[in-house]
Amino acid sequence: MSKAAEAARALVDGAGQGALATLSDDGSPLSTWVAFTDDGLGNPLFLLSGLSEHTRNLRARPRASLLVVAETSGAGGPMDRARVTLSGAITFLQGAEAQAAKTRFVTRNPDAAQYADLPDFTPARLEVEAVRFVGGFARATSVPLAAYRAEGPAVAG
């Protein structure tokens, strides 16, 4: 399997936070820092507040991307950090699927227990359509979606 796909998947599974980019009413981009977890298949799960501008943007225009950056850098400094951008569309989850996503999110992000059951928080999933991985300075590649998915389900929990 591709080392880039493996590294991208590991980064997404282990990060827990990243920059979510959405489009505002006037077409301008908005990037916000959010908590997320991997759904076990490489798609990020979020608990999104209806009070947040990014949630309003996503309800109107579901296209989004999530930038996830490694905490540590290589010998080249901050620009040598591994990073991955996942692009696709947001799906707001309902019913049993929403409850399972919320449970997984809180299990992997225990601090979320304080707001997960508030009525304005809705579980959502980024349906990944494209993966762009940067392994460090001057090491960028597009990762085929099939290779990213083939890295297998992340460990549940």
Of the pLDDT bands very low, low, confident and very high (cuts 50, 70, 90), residue 155 is: very low
Mean pLDDT of 120-141: 94
Residue 152 confidence (pLDDT): 63
Instruction: Select the more confidently predicted residue: 30 or 74.
Output: 30
CA dist 81 and 139 (Å) reads 10
For 103-132, letters b (16+ CB in 10 Å) and e give ebbbebbeebeeeeeeeebbbbbbbbeebb
Cα dihedral 128→42→66→13 (10° resolution): 180
List domains and CATH numbers for the chain.
3-149 (2.30.110.10)
Provide CB contacts within 8 A for 66, sequence distance 6+: 18, 19, 20, 21, 34, 36, 44, 85, 86, 126
Helix (H, G, I), strand (E, B) or coil at 86: strand
Whether pLDDT at 156 is above 50: no
Q: In the predicted model, what is the mean pLDDT of the chain?
A: 92
Residue 2 confidence (pLDDT): 87
Pairing mode, strands 83-92 and 63-69: antiparallel
pLDDT tens-digit readout, 133-148? 999 888 899 999 999 9
Mean pLDDT of 117-131: 96
Residue 105 confidence (pLDDT): 96
Mean pLDDT of 102-129: 95
